[in-house]
């Protein structure tokens, strides 16, 4: 339907719809462009498109596990990426050239006093990664201050005089004996310029610390002890590489070691099998022994059960009638002890009576002795007369044979020194002299 055939109301509504659609398309396009711009900005920030990047290179033995675009890390942070991997020409002492970039501000940690590249293993699939170590002393390897070579020291003296406190050395200065006189970064003034001029150097590298560039302009060259000014086509700053042993080489060494140790392991397993067979045989023999010992254990259990019963030890040692015999023996012993106790008591009473009678006799004897003081003399005389009588009977011819004794082997004297069988000196009471 042509537009002129529409009513004014429809044409008004159609114009409003066209304007709304136009605004929608415009806003959608603006949002799309904004999102695309934000993506580009974020990608540029992530890739470091707007920051200063310092170029470096190193040499490695092999390019295994390294690829262009891989991240370069420092202290665990991604600080750059690999830009080029190239094989060196034939006859060169190095194998593979690896070039990489480090973003600002991380390249300012890379100094001559200890920075190097570590080629680390990054996985089990032969992946590797570059890690740059930071240093805390020495000189910054890459700088953004433009370095100038002054062959005319008068020109440098004029610049130092025009801008005092801004010019610094970009090299190390040695004397004729190769002794270090001035270090890099030392501030230049009229006095030390005169000392440097006295050494007659071919030229002086210096920089103005008030001037900075948005790219790296020079790198330290340790061979010549000064900063090398970058020119188009020049190589980048050099860092030595320390490579870890690749995982594949470690796995190969491990496989070789396993192959070497495998015969020993197999021999050990064979010995272990023999030991297990011996253990099985010993176990079977032990089972036979246990079966043979089982009756003995049963008998021992029966004996121990009998011994646990009251009187079991006595019955087991002396027989089944031992208890009755022992009880009878104990009864007889008790009876014997009772009768012995009774008899002992009676014997004690009798002995006491006898002792009392003996005490009475001795008491009466004592009384008589005390009453008659010549009693002992009469008793002694009776004993002497009896002895004379007996000696006379011994000498009588009729009774001599009854008292005959065997002659001794050797004659011995008696206690009084007289001949044996001699007369015995009679004993007299101390009171016998008084009676006689």
Written as six digits, the tokens of 314 are 């006595």
59-73, 148-162, 402-416: lowest mean pLDDT where? 402-416
Q: Quick one: pLDDT band at residue 169, thresholds 50, 70, 90? A: very high
User: CA 25, CA 45: separation in Å to the nearest integer?
Assistant: 30
User: CA 154, CA 190: separation in Å to the nearest integer?
Assistant: 11
Q: Quick one: pLDDT band at residue 58, thresholds 50, 70, 90? A: very high
Written as six digits, the tokens of 259 are 């192959």
Say if residue 415's pLDDT is above 70: no
Written as six digits, the tokens of 129 are 């990664």
- Residue 178, Cβ neighbours under 10 Å: how many? 6
Who wins on pLDDT, 434 or 337?
337
Q: List, for residues 103-133, the tens digit of each pLDDT value.
A: 988 999 999 988 999 999 887 677 899 999 9
Spell out the residues 6+ positions from residue 159 whose beta carbon is closer than 8 angstroms to its own.
Answer: 167, 208
Written as six digits, the tokens of 382 are 């009776």
pLDDT value, residue 98: 95
User: CA 327, CA 411: separation in Å to the nearest integer?
Assistant: 66
The answer to whether residues 55 and 101 touch, using CB atoms and an 8 Å cutoff, is yes
Mean pLDDT value across residues 18-26: 87
Who wins on pLDDT, 173 or 424?
173
91-100, 184-193, 217-226, 277-286: lowest mean pLDDT where? 277-286
Count of residues in the chain:
436
User: CA 82, CA 102: separation in Å to the nearest integer?
Assistant: 9
Written as six digits, the tokens of 401 are 């044979």
**Strand spans (E) along 43-87:** 53-60, 71-74, 77-87
DSSP letter, residue 216: -
Q: List, for residues 383-408, the tens digit of each pLDDT value.
A: 888 877 777 766 766 666 666 666 55
User: CA 282, CA 25: separation in Å to the nearest integer?
Assistant: 94
The stretches of 137-220 forming alpha helices (DSSP H) are 153-162, 190-198
pLDDT value, residue 136: 87
Q: Quick one: pLDDT band at residue 426, thresholds 50, 70, 90? A: low
CA 421 vs. chain centroid, Å, equals 105
Q: Which sequence spans correspond to the domains of the chain?
A: 3-47, 375-408+422-435
The whole-chain average pLDDT of the chain stands at 81
Q: List, for residues 250-297, the tens digit of each pLDDT value.
A: 777 788 888 888 888 888 888 888 998 888 888 888 878 888 877 877
Q: What percent of the chain has pLDDT over 90?
A: 32
Say if residue 424's pLDDT is above 60: no
Q: Quick one: pLDDT band at residue 313, thresholds 50, 70, 90? A: low
Q: List, for residues 204-263, the tens digit of each pLDDT value.
A: 999 999 999 888 999 999 889 999 988 766 667 899 999 887 666 777 778 888 888 888
pLDDT value, residue 262: 81
The answer to whether residues 65 and 127 touch, using CB atoms and an 8 Å cutoff, is yes
22-36, 133-147, 236-250: lowest mean pLDDT where? 236-250
Phi, psi at residue 25, to the nearest 5°? -65, -40
pLDDT value, residue 360: 78
1-5, 48-52, 179-183, 187-191: lowest mean pLDDT where? 1-5
Q: What is the pTM of this model?
A: 0.51
pLDDT value, residue 434: 46
Instruction: Choose from 20-34, 323-337, 359-373, 399-413 the range with maximum mean pLDDT.
Output: 20-34
Q: What percent of the chain has pLDDT over 70?
A: 80
CA 314 vs. chain centroid, Å, equals 60
């Amino acid at each position: 339907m042509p537009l002129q055939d529409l009513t004014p109301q429809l044409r008004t509504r159609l114009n409003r719809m066209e304007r709304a659609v136009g605004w929608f398309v415009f806003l959608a396009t603006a949002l799309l462009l904004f999102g695309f711009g934000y993506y580009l900005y974020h990608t540029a920030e992530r890739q470091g498109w707007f920051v200063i990047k310092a170029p470096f290179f190193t040499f490695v033995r092999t390019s295994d596990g390294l690829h262009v675009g891989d991240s370069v890390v420092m202290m665990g942070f991604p600080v750059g990426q690999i830009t080029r991997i190239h094989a060196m020409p034939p006859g060169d002492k190095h194998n593979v050239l690896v070039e990489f970039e480090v973003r600002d501000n991380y390249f300012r940690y890379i100094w001559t006093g200890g920075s190097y590249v570590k080629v680390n293993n990054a996985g089990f699939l032969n992946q590797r990664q570059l890690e740059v170590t930071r240093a805390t002393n020495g000189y910054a390897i890459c700088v953004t201050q433009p370095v100038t070579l002054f062959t005319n020291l008068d020109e440098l003296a004029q610049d130092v005089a025009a801008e005092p406190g801004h010019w610094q050395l970009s090299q190390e200065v040695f004397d004729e004996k190769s002794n270090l006189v001035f270090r890099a970064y030392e501030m230049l003034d009229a006095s030390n310029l005169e000392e440097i001029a006295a050494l007659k150097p071919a030229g002086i590298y210096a920089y103005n610390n008030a001037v900075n560039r948005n790219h790296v302009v020079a790198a330290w060259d340790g061979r010549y002890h000064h900063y090398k000014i970058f020119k188009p086509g020049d190589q980048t700053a050099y860092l030595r590489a320390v490579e870890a042993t690749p995982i594949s080489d470690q796995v190969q060494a491990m496989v070789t070691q396993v192959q070497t140790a495998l015969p020993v392991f197999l021999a050990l397993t064979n010995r272990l099998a023999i030991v297990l067979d011996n253990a099985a045989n010993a176990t079977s023999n032990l089972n036979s022994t246990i079966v043979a010992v089982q009756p003995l254990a049963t008998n021992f259990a029966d004996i121990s059960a009998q011994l646990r019963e009251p009187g079991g030890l006595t019955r087991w040692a002396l027989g089944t009638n031992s208890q009755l015999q022992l009880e009878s023996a104990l009864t007889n012993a008790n009876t014997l002890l009772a009768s012995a106790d009774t008899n002992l008591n009676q014997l004690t009473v009798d002995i006491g009576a006898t002792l009392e009678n003996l005490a009475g006799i001795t008491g009466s004897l004592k009384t008589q002795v005390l009453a008659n003081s010549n009693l002992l003399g009469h008793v002694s005389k009776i004993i002497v007369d009896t002895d004379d009588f007996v000696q006379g009977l011994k000498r009588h011819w009729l009774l001599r044979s009854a008292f005959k004794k065997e002659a001794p082997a050797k004659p011995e004297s008696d206690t009084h020194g007289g001949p044996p069988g001699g007369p015995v000196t009679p004993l007299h009471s101390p009171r016998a002299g008084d009676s006689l």
